[in-house]
Amino acid sequence: MSEARKKRPFKSSGIVDFPKKYVVLDLETTGLSPEWDSIIEIGAIKVENDVIVETFEQLINPGFEISDFIQNLTGITNEMLSSQPSISDVLPDIESFVENNIIVGHNVNFDINFLYDNFEYYMNKPFTNGFIDTMRISRKVLPGLDHYRLTDIVYELGIEGSNFHRALSDCEYTYKCYETMKALIEVDFGGYDQFKRQFGNNYYEKLDLTVLKPDTETFDNTHPLYNKVCVFTGTLEKYSRQQAAQIVVNLGGSCGNNVTAKTNFLILGNNAYCSTIKDGKSTKQKKAEAYKLKGQDIEIISESVFYDMINGD
């Protein structure tokens, strides 16, 4: 089953909350797709009363050699992994560590999907912990940034750091960012309750982009997105998917949830492509390419080209 259609019926919901007790989690993987890629490191930090009380760190042998790209990105080498346990041996340990705690992470939906699928495959049970995404919180606390990667948030908040893309160190950065943003929220937003009211109850429930309505009645019918159908794949860096889709609708276009014969533009998130994903392409991209080969009026564009289009550059 392709990742785009993967069903995770027992997966919990993403929430915006500020518990005193939680577990920060981060994974390093061989790529972006739980279907094709493998976990090579798990890091976790247990927090009680806003203080770190325990840590978990484990390298994992994926059963094959990892690419030069992943080795250079993470600093994890094939030699480091050769003597490490398999994911099936590690999952019971991470289950014991996280217990029923809320999971906190940056772009954590990615990590949750990997854990869910591995728990389901190796342990015959789903991973059901609720989760909080610090990326989503940072978009509201720190508006106007060009990107919302963990490195961007760390630097914007004045947190010292250099060792990124290792699971435990990224957990430590996420913990510091989360606690720092909590302090800012109490001052700048009048408290947690006021802040939470600005969000819907379930951020990660499936967005139906087809129902979005424009915020204007005036359109420029010469704009390249006017009367065009756009679909997104991958994670956008500058906007949430709903925000980007709303821009399209406000320009007189419309958005679809999946690539169809009516799709005119497929916009690739900046991390939709990774050479370690099979064929280097998402399911939506493969489908769009198939339509294009048949003569369909569809273009596949990068996130940066999309921004040039909406800004008129």
Tell me if 30 sits within 8 A of 38, measured CB to CB. yes
CA distance linking residue 313 with residue 307, whole number of Å: 8
194 contacts: CB under 8 Å, gap ≥ 6: none
Evaluate whether 278 touches 71 at the Cβ level (below 8 Å): no
Numbers of helices and strands, H then E, in the chain: 11, 10
165 is catalytic: yes
Q: Which of 106, 147, 165, 223 is catalytic?
A: 165
Sorted by sequence, the CB contacts under 8 Å of residue 295 that are 6+ apart come out as none
Q: Determine whether 53 is exposed, middle or buried from the number of CB atoms within 10 Å of its CB (0-12, 13-18, 19+).
A: exposed
Nearest C-alpha neighbor of 245 from the set 261, 225, 260, 259: 225
What is the strand order of the sheet 103-105 is part of? 14-15, 131-133, 103-105, 22-29, 39-48, 51-59
Provide DSSP, 113-137. Answer: HHHHHHHHHHHSS-----EEEHHHH
Closest CA to 246 of 255, 258, 234, 237: 255
d(CA 272, CA 274): 7
Would you name the residues annotated as active-site residues? 165
